Amino acid sequence: MKKPSLRTIFISLSLLIILINPNPVTAHFFPNISAIPSSLIPKSTIWDAFNNLVGCRKGQKSEGLSKLKKYLHYFGYLNNSYSDFSDDFDDRLEAAVKTYQLNFNLKATGELDAPTLSHIVLPRCGNSDVVNGTSTMNSGKPNGGGNSTFHTVAHYSFFPNRPRWPPSKSELTYAFLPENELSGAVRGVFGRAFERWSEVTPLTFREVAAFGRADIKIGFLSRDHGDGEPFDGVLGTLAHAFSPPNGRFHLDGEENWLIDGNFLNGSPRSAVDLESVAVHEIGHVLGLGHSSVEGAIMYPTISSGQRKVELANDDIMGVQELYGSNPNYNGSVSLTPRGERDTSGASRVEFSLLAGRMLLPWSLLLLRLFV
Ligand SMILES: *[C@@H]1O[C@H](CO)[C@@H](O)[C@H](O)[C@H]1NC(C)=O
Ligand SMILES: *[C@@H]1O[C@H](CO)[C@@H](O)[C@H](O)[C@H]1NC(C)=O
Ligand SMILES: *[C@@H]1O[C@H](CO)[C@@H](O)[C@H](O)[C@H]1NC(C)=O
Ligand SMILES: *[C@@H]1O[C@H](CO)[C@@H](O)[C@H](O)[C@H]1NC(C)=O
Ligand SMILES: *[C@@H]1O[C@H](CO)[C@@H](O)[C@H](O)[C@H]1NC(C)=O
Ligand SMILES: [Zn+2]
Ligand SMILES: [Zn+2]
């Protein structure tokens, strides 16, 4: 038998290293769309095939429905008691599609019509829209299905039991996974994203080096990375974050992340604006769930190449309900809080704050209606 060559030894060693660290974290960052090499732009992405299901409805059987059920299960629209992941369009799937449609302000037909599929295939946050059977978006609201294009009512939401960072922690620290070796420019994008939230709340955020001890732990990771919520390559799910006081904030290391916020030229087939996604995920880190208001940061989807970094009134009202306002914040919030909020976790103080806020905005609201 031949002695193992140097080459064999080298290959075995490399394999061993890959086995030990199954998800090398080599995230890509680009200043603009033209800088993305074509080899990194896939011809199709994980959810594109859902477009073939157009027109599908209850009673039919169609190849691909099984995958769609898994998608709806992942985002909470089919609960854990559901087990029929076949290609049959059953009652439960119809109900799930209707809930999805209500959440995204679409006509609740229960059919896989073109407008519904065009939403389903959009890149999005990996956090669920329905947690433990309760939708945090439109469909779970007392006025569920309200047309939020014409919104006068707040749609922000919280995680179950409204977890938040304790009042003793008004400064939260954040750190980056050391293996990611992020540049100053990339870290600066996160700094700006945190700033959006500290402008409107009493919270401040400070970068620290000690990853293990930071309140908020930011990492670019790929595929299965140990928390039961695997990433899926280019587009599909982009990032996810855990509710307070967990602090884990993960981004898909396989995305083509744009960091300059200035990328108007080119065909943005697969480009994702890092700051937009960071502002959204920090909302989760602070305790916000998804909102049905399309202009809100906490809306779950974002189109490839879209930039959305300004907090909407809906986001500001939500985060201020948890933490109060920044004394230096001079903006005004012009939505009517929902009167029928889940009161299980709400203290009296929160309610009187709410009531106080309800008095002010009406004049602004009327202005908005007539201008
Ligand atoms: C895009 O980025 C590349 C790499 O930094 C740069 O050479 C190029 O000039 C940029 N293009 C535009 C249109 O800004
Ligand atoms: C799952 O959803 C179905 C239909 O909405 C409901 O009847 C059932 O109670 C739910 N099961 C669990 C465990 O939440
Ligand atoms: C919501 O309202 C807007 C403006 O009135 C309208 O254009 C849109 O079609 C409505 N959407 C739904 C789902 O009813
Ligand atoms: C979901 O419900 C189960 C059982 O009611 C409970 O143990 C669990 O903590 C809930 N999860 C969340 C996120 O509220
Ligand atoms: C609010 O404050 C910002 C700076 O903090 C200032 O530029 C802006 O003019 C102020 N707006 C009002 C209405 O006072
Ligand atoms: Zn999200
Ligand atoms: Zn994760």
Using alpha carbons only, give the angle 309, 310, 315 rounded to the nearest 5 degrees: 110
**% of the chain at pLDDT higher than 90:** 65
- Which range, 146-160, 285-299, 346-360, has the best average confidence (pLDDT)? 285-299
Looking at the DSSP bridge assignments, the partners of residue 341 are: none
Best substitution site from 132, 134, 158, 243 to test ligand 4's pocket, by max atoms within 8 Å of Cβ?
A: 132
Given the residues 111, 254, 275, 281, the one annotated as active site: 281
In this predicted structure, the answer to whether residue 359 has a pLDDT above a threshold of 50 is no
Q: pLDDT band at 142, cuts 50/70/90? A: low
Residue nearest to atom 4 of ligand 2 (CA): 92
Q: Does 133 contact ligand 2 (Cβ within 6 A)?
A: yes
Residue nearest to atom 2 of ligand 4 (CA): 132
In this predicted structure, the answer to whether residue 370 has a pLDDT above a threshold of 50 is no
Pairwise CA distance, residues 136 & 75, whole Å: 11
First and final C-alpha spacing in the chain: 86
Backbone angles phi, psi at 263, to 5 degrees: -150, 55
DSSP class of 242: P
What digits encode the pLDDT tens for the residues 225-276? 999 999 999 999 999 999 999 999 999 999 999 998 776 555 567 889 999 9
Is the model's pTM score more than 0.85? no
Reply yes or no on whether 281 is catalytic: yes
pLDDT value of position 265: 57
CA distance to 11, 285, 309, per residue, from 241 (Å): 36, 6, 17
Least confident of 188-202, 206-220, 343-357: 343-357
Q: Does 105 contact ligand 3 (Cβ within 6 A)?
A: yes
**Residues near 170 by Cβ (< 8 Å), separated by ≥ 6?**
202, 203, 204
CA of 304 to the centre of ligand 1 (A): 19
Ligand nearest to the CA of 249: 7
Least confident of 6-20, 37-51, 202-216: 6-20
Residue nearest to atom 10 of ligand 3 (CA): 147
Q: Which residue has the higher pLDDT, 22 or 255?
A: 255
**Residues near 180 by Cβ (< 8 Å), separated by ≥ 6?**
25, 27, 219, 220, 253
Ligand nearest to the CA of 146: 3
Q: Which residue has the higher pLDDT, 339 or 123?
A: 123
Q: Which three-class secondary structure state does DSSP give residue 171?
A: strand
**Structure tokens belonging to residue 34:** 């033209």
